[in-house]
A and B are shown apart, each in its own frame.
Chain A
Amino acid sequence: MKRKALSVFLVLIAVVSLCACGGGGQTGSTTLNVYNWGEYIDLSTLDEFTARTGINVNYTTYASNEEMYSKIVSGAASYDVIIPSEYMISKMIDEDLLAELNFDNIPNYQYIGEDYKGQDYDPDNKYSVPYTWGTVVIVYNTKYVDEADVEDESIELLWNEKYAGKILMFDNPRDAFALAHAKLGHSMNTQDPAYWEAAAEELIRQKPLVQAYVMDQVFDKMLGEEAWIAPYYAGDAITMMDENEDLAAYVPVEGANRFFDAMCVLKNSRHKAEAEAFINFMCDTEIAAQNAEEVCYAIPQVESFKLLDEETQNDTMVYPPKEVLDRCEVFVNLPAETLELQSRLWIKLKTSYR
């Protein structure tokens, strides 16, 4: 008797939990799956979006374009809105993964500055709406790093043996190789195998000095002063500098990557209209400004920019002057052979043991 009661109970649990998993839409409202970089949104805007539209948001994050891409092509999960960087957007357009947007549903697109439209990654403005942009900077802790070592604002700081064990490095090959290419004076988009081999040599030479290869963990390690030097994205660097006053940053003189992240809808999205509503919402003048205050990246919305406090508007880390931007380079999508080589060399770096 007891056993029977138990099995009835177990079946009940199974049924209830199945309902809970399979549900999501049972209240009649739609759930939008938004997939974005970690630490890259003001989360309260998501609640505001749900309050205004009744559309629920299932928000998940990734640490690199590559991670996002492989998750999507594996078909392991279905997403509606994604926010990749420019080179990944061109790759995904080429592979027919992105949906053409219906801009009638995105009236707020009018607020996007002209400079940010018609970029190489989406020349006809069909697939993407710019979200934020920024550059890669080198963050360092003024308490431990000598003034003399940062005076020249060079990328060489990342190879300075004086700070062995206190240097962090990007844990994704595209950003890591870009630094090595810049150090050697190559284009970050070079397709010359010899240049890639040379850049790999630089990274292998740097490896003994590197404390760890990290992405979002950079926050913990730099804020806790476990590490003293790290290359990272400008907006996140500013977030860190706000929290630890000893941190400072510069765009290296040798050049750095300038990136544009833009909102896209996946071709297989079943909630395209809702996804466009979300994109429209994020471009709302006040929402975009509020979001920019939180994430500290530069925004393409002209009106929203005017709402930012003066300090942010004049912050050359967020909105670098023209001469700095001129030495920055935007990634383009690399051909398959170059990606193969990059992958092989990255694994070589990670498997060169000492």
Chain B
Amino acid sequence: MSKGIAVGNKKANLFPFSSWMVVFVLVPIALVVYYALTDVDGFTLSNLRWIVTYGGTLWLSVKLAFIATVICLLLAYPIAYSMSRAGARVQRNATLFIMLPMWMNFLVRTYAWMTLLEDNGLINSALRAVFGMEFPGLHLINNHGAIVLGMVYNYLPYMILPIYTSLTKIGGSLIEAARDLGANGGQVLGRVILPMSVPGIISGITMVFIPSISTFIISKILGGGKDFLIGDLIEDYFLGNSGVVNYNIGAALSLVIMVMILAATFIMNHFDKDAQTSGGGVI
């Protein structure tokens, strides 16, 4: 069946993929590297030292992205597990519902949280009306917690779906076999299901952590534009909102982030080695 597509010149078949990669991945990365390692006088490494200057910003970004990723994982695994054990119809509908918010624009979804979390927002108004809480109520927005919430809300589907996919690949017969051989519930989970879903977990982590660490719009909308994350800083250098446009420093910061992410992916792939065959795959 699939043989039909594979026949012919292999290189020619790869053409759409490779041309896409060259135009939209390799060339942009080459540009980032070029800008990062040059300034008006030519080659230099001095742009990279800015990552040290902005160490605090990098640390904050890593911290918030890490917290968001952990929360996503803790929420997503049970959801994905119960989905994977449900009937076909429920699975279809559940997948649909998880995808549903993604039909809406990312910005609109994030703005919607603003109207929920503000002092005059729905949550605080409800708390005041129902529990007679005093004005202004809970401080839910324009802080780091709100930024993490924004990350979790926006990127949770990217954690659920890969885990769900890897869990559905574990046949019921494997679990039955484990039980037949005397494993109890905890052992089935810890020694069969969890190890076999590692590829899904790893691609989930990657797909949540990377957009979280580089976001600049969530921090602006839900963080009140007060504390820059590394993405805000890069945006500022490229757009020059602070008065100076400097592609070189912006590109250098981006390059450092890319290398860090690449290194992290490399390490995680290492964990993934044993489970390679069960599919999933990173990125």
Contacts and interface: CB of A to CB of B under 8 A. Distances in A.
A110 interface: no
A152 interface: no
Contacts of A173: 241-243
Contacts of A165: 119, 136, 139, 142
Given A66-B239, A226-B120, A343 B225 contact: no
Contacts of B240: 66-67, 69-70, 343
Contacts of B119: 165, 226
A322 B225 CA distance: 36
A35 interface: no
A197 interface: no
Interface in B137-171: 139, 142
B272 interface: no
A61 interface: no
Interface string B233-273: 10010111111110000000000000000000000000000
A347 B236 contact: yes
A64 interface: yes
B244 A172 contact: no
B281 interface: no
Given A226-B120, A351-B57, A351-B233, A66 B242 contact: yes
B142 A350 contact: no
Contacts of A69: 240, 245
Interface string A198-231: 0000000001001111100000000011100000
Interface residues of B, number: 27
Interface in B103-161: 118-121, 136, 139, 142
A66 B142 CA distance: 24
A174 B240 CA distance: 12
B244 A214 contact: no
A350 B243 contact: no
Contacts of B136: 165
Contacts of A14: none
Contact of B224 (A66, A73, A74, A210): A210
Contacts of B241: 64, 66-67, 70, 171-173
A211 B114 CA distance: 13
Contacts of B57: 351
B224 A213 contact: yes
A347 B235 CA distance: 12
A210 B56 contact: no
A340 interface: yes
A350 B120 contact: no
6 contacts: A66-B242, A67-B241, A73-B245, A224-B120, A353-B56, A353-B227
Please name the 7 residue pairs, one residue from A and one from B, whose CB atoms are nearest each other, closest first. Answer: A212-B224, A213-B225, A343-B244, A70-B240, A343-B242, A346-B242, A350-B228
